[in-house]
Structure 1
Amino acid sequence: MYAMPHGDDLDQRFNELVAQIDAEERRKMRAAAKKGAKTRGAERSPGFGHDARLGMPSERAPRRIGRAWPAVAGITAVIAAAGAVITLRPDLLPAVAGPVPEETMPVVAAPVPLKSLTSPVSTEPLGPFEGSKAESWAEGAAGFDLPEAKAIGGLSKQDVAKGLKRTHKLLAAAFLDRKTILGGRPTAYMDLLHPEARSRFRKSLDRKDSLRGMLTSFAPKTAELVGDVIKVNGRAKLSSYKKDGITGAKVEINYLVAYAIQRPGQPATMTRLVTHNRGTMLMYREGGELVTWVRELGGTATPARCDVDDGYIHPFYDDSAPSKVRPEGPPQDPYDLDAPEFDGECGASEET
């Protein structure tokens, strides 16, 4: 419990405290956290694949993983300062309808001595990706660099170009659409699917085995984007395809997408979450129509919780409660595009 100080203007104290946590201070704290960071446990959130002809889940089901263990003290000062203010100012908490998700609940921490927050205010903003491996990546849809179109698998160059264009739009809708990312209805993605696949996807959204895990979609009220930039890096391979009576082309995708997120309304919790997305898109003609089909799509997310499996990504913040599931295997670099595909319940990951 915190005693409310007599004679203090809480609004003024709040603004003064926040003003002292400048960009340079946050940079030093994140640098200290990275230097002394412990290995994180990876978290599970299932992804799914599609059978090319029937639109049914394939046997192969990629998993989503992320970090599981609490952060070290390097970023405690900012979190503690926010915690002290929130404890005194419950009106600052975001309004939430229904039960409050664990990820959005405030963290109670001891007050921070003002002498630790005396760095001069910097006028130069610090980007959320500065100093990370994602800093030099492309921004947004420009990062989904697809192969050049060519005649292949019985398709003309024009057909392949059209299929690649649709593939690019599908990737942007799956991993960059703001509404989808923040847990809304993934309309942008569904509108691009083949009618048969769209029907199956739509019906799955209200089921426990929702196909939403194919996309990047944070559980509602667990995250908000920091800034307008999403970083993308990766590659795709175009080749011919012939199986189950289908002849055409396939595009195998392998992309990393980095998001800067925070708990809603809580800037001190800012973190980077990286997804590693793999999948296969098919292009073929059926009844005279060119079809672009999502054969399979899924991947991993770091840091995300292992102990929630509802199709959404549940981000794991430095102040989150410990996971109920322990990670397995050696820690993997979440920025490694060539990392082996994870095929378990919960894998270990390095810091993002």
Structure 2
Amino acid sequence: MPIAEDPEPRPSGHPKDGTDGKDPFADLVLDEEFVRGATVKEQAGRTRMLAARWQHTPPVDPGGRRSVNDGPRPKRRFARRPRPVDPWGNPRPRRAREWRTPLFVVLTVALVLAALNVDGLRSWYSTRFGDGSGSAAAPVRSVAPESGRPTTAPPPVDPAQPTVDRPWAGSPAENWPTGIEVFGPDPSTVTRIGVFGADQVAAQVELVKRYLAAANLDPRTVAGGRPEAALALLGPEDRAEAEKALATPSYDDDPLTWFSRFDARDAIPVGGVYRVQGSISVEGDGKRGVLVHTDFTYVYPLRPGPDAAGRAAAPKPSLSPRPPRDPAPGGNATAKPVGLVTPVADVPGDTWTTRTVVRRADTFRFYDPAKFSVERDRLYFQRHLSESGNSECGVYDGWYHPQFDQFAAAGAPNPDQSGPTSDPYDRRGELSTDGLCGTVSRS
């Protein structure tokens, strides 16, 4: 663009200049057509200032800035980003990639999933690496808690001899839950019953669950220890009866009515994990109170204790219609068997084990505190029934006494064991109250 830094002086209008004394700009009209047709344009003041400065000090490209005169941007190879620079064009130092945070997130998710499905993790491990017996075990599908009374018995399982390494072999309880906390009505479905609000009814159900776990699933209780946690949840009268049964067990005062216990001299629990299946329901008692009904089957894997073989070979007691109230010989619970305070550690291997199956149907009543004198956060039994499979009949010393297959030939059959053969895993019907000593089709 041409620039007129110093335009020529205006003509003076003298005849010698060839203008005849006439001003050449007299007829000039500065309209839009004149402006657009001008060949010389005046620059802005800033443009002239920068042009004068750059004559002595040329500008420096700071880098990282592009203009329309720089041409197209160079293509990146393999989608790599250009190295970042600061506003002055200096390269920024590259940050080391943080790899620990994603790793911690993955490990946390894996631990949470494993905790939510312990049985599935155990099955996956057994399938990939074996179960310790040299052969890979088939994966086990977890069975959900019951939502109501079942209409069929559990399907038959391939018969297999359980061992210390595989205590659940051949049992339909292998995929049952291992805790009471997964049972019970959905808290969102619990409503007000009698004088108790929905939150109070939900708390009563949780109290019942705590007792059932302490009385039937606590490893110390099952191994023969004193069930202090369960006793602490009972009302005064029920606790007095339970303590009496523990002190002097007999036919009328049998601690097995309340707790699941094994004599470590005879049978030792394996693994410290037991299977359970059943249901919990809630209803009103008709007196502004609440009834909590529970019906659970507990399965305990056991290995022989030091006196198991001798007990199997000993003569069996002859059952009478109603045993005396006195404790059976050696049944005083004050003489503590081996392993009562500290459960005996498991011994891995192929030692044959067995299982005892116990079913309990209990009803707990929560009274209207305005009409009855009751202690808060204590349980009061309305009814409790129980029966056991694979436990010696006619013995009321406060312990379950299972039969082990490796010692079965050493003992003579009990002539009074004339009851029907039943499946201890069949939960379709009600508990039997005939008192007959029968046999079980499987354990």
Normalising by structure 1, report the TM-score. Answer: 0.59
Residue of structure 1 in register with 2:309 after alignment: none
- The residue correspondences of 1:190-205 to structure 2 (distance < 5 A) are 190-205=231-246
**1:284 equivalenced with 2:367 (yes/no):** yes
Contact 2:289 2:367 in 1 (8 A): yes
Residue of structure 2 in register with 1:351 after alignment: 442
Give the distance between the partners of 1:168 and 1:275, measured in 2 at CA: 17
**1:141 equivalenced with 2:176 (yes/no):** no
Q: Return the offset for 1:137.
A: 0.7
Give the distance between the partners of 1:307 and 1:153, measured in 2 at CA: 43
Give the distance between the partners of 1:288 and 1:282, measured in 2 at CA: 11
Structure 1 pair 150–75 and aligned structure 2 pair: CA distance change class (3 A): closer
Q: Return the offset for 1:348.
A: 2.6
Pick one of 240, 258, 263 that aligns with 2:284: 240
Give the distance between the partners of 2:418 and 2:182, measured in 1 at CA: 31
RMSD: 3.0
Give the distance between the partners of 1:340 and 1:166, measured in 2 at CA: 24
- The residue correspondences of 1:242-257 to structure 2 (distance < 5 A) are 242=286, 246-257=287-298
SS in 1 for 2:244: helix
Contact 2:367 2:374 in 1 (8 A): no
**1:341 equivalenced with 2:380 (yes/no):** no
* One-letter identity of the residue aligned with 2:236: P
Residue of structure 1 in register with 2:316 after alignment: none
Q: Return the offset for 1:334.
A: 0.9
Give the distance between the partners of 1:23 and 1:75, measured in 2 at CA: 12
Residue of structure 1 in register with 2:57 after alignment: none
Residue of structure 2 in register with 1:61 after alignment: none
Structure 1 pair 249–75 and aligned structure 2 pair: CA distance change class (3 A): closer
SS in 1 for 2:173: coil
* One-letter identity of the residue aligned with 1:138: P
Structure 1 pair 340–292 and aligned structure 2 pair: CA distance change class (3 A): closer
Pick one of 401, 414, 417 that aligns with 1:314: 401
Pick one of 152, 162, 185 that aligns with 2:226: 185
Contact 2:354 2:402 in 1 (8 A): no
Identical-residue share of aligned pairs (%): 27
- Report Cα offsets for 1:287-330 as digits up to 9, x if no partner: 48545312233312221101312232111211142343533343
Residue of structure 2 in register with 1:176 after alignment: 217
* One-letter identity of the residue aligned with 1:342: S
* One-letter identity of the residue aligned with 1:187: E
* One-letter identity of the residue aligned with 2:281: K
Structure 1 pair 309–147 and aligned structure 2 pair: CA distance change class (3 A): farther
SS in 2 for 1:138: coil
Give the distance between the partners of 1:175 and 1:294, measured in 2 at CA: 16
Q: Return the offset for 1:165.
A: 1.2
Residue of structure 2 in register with 1:132 after alignment: 171
Structure 1 pair 147–249 and aligned structure 2 pair: CA distance change class (3 A): farther
Residue of structure 2 in register with 1:271 after alignment: 354
Q: Return the offset for 1:134.
A: 0.7
Structure 1 pair 168–228 and aligned structure 2 pair: CA distance change class (3 A): same
- Report Cα offsets for 1:41-94 as digits up to 9, x if no partner: xxxxxxxxxxxxxxxxxxxxxxxxxxxxxxxxx869x9xxxxxxxxxxxxxxxx
Give the distance between the partners of 1:316 and 1:169, measured in 2 at CA: 30
SS in 2 for 1:268: coil
Count of residue pairs the alignment pairs up? 236
Q: Mean Cα displacement is larger for which, 196-205 or 275-284? A: 196-205
Pick one of 415, 421, 425 that aligns with 1:331: 421
Residue of structure 2 in register with 1:23 after alignment: 133
* One-letter identity of the residue aligned with 1:346: C
Residue of structure 1 in register with 2:384 after alignment: 297
- Report Cα offsets for 1:239-265 as digits up to 9, x if no partner: 1113xxx54111111111111111137
Normalising by structure 2, report the TM-score. Answer: 0.48
- Report Cα offsets for 1:3-28 as digits up to 9, x if no partner: xxxxxxxxxxxxxxxxxxx7259x9x
Give the distance between the partners of 1:132 and 1:75, measured in 2 at CA: 10
Q: Return the offset for 1:142.
A: 3.7
* One-letter identity of the residue aligned with 2:238: A
- Report Cα offsets for 1:169-228 as digits up to 9, x if no partner: 110011111222122222121111113322232133222343412211113422112113
Pick one of 225, 228, 236 that aligns with 2:272: 228
Give the distance between the partners of 1:325 and 1:146, measured in 2 at CA: 44
Residue of structure 2 in register with 1:212 after alignment: 255
Give the distance between the partners of 1:162 and 1:204, measured in 2 at CA: 29
Give the distance between the partners of 2:225 and 2:394, measured in 1 at CA: 22
> Runs of 5+ in structure 2 lacking a partner?
1-131, 138-159, 307-346
* One-letter identity of the residue aligned with 1:350: S
Structure 1 pair 219–323 and aligned structure 2 pair: CA distance change class (3 A): farther
* One-letter identity of the residue aligned with 1:278: A
**1:260 equivalenced with 2:301 (yes/no):** yes
> Runs of 5+ in structure 1 lacking a partner?
1-21, 28-73, 79-124
Larger-gyration structure (1/2): 2
Give the distance between the partners of 1:247 and 1:213, measured in 2 at CA: 32
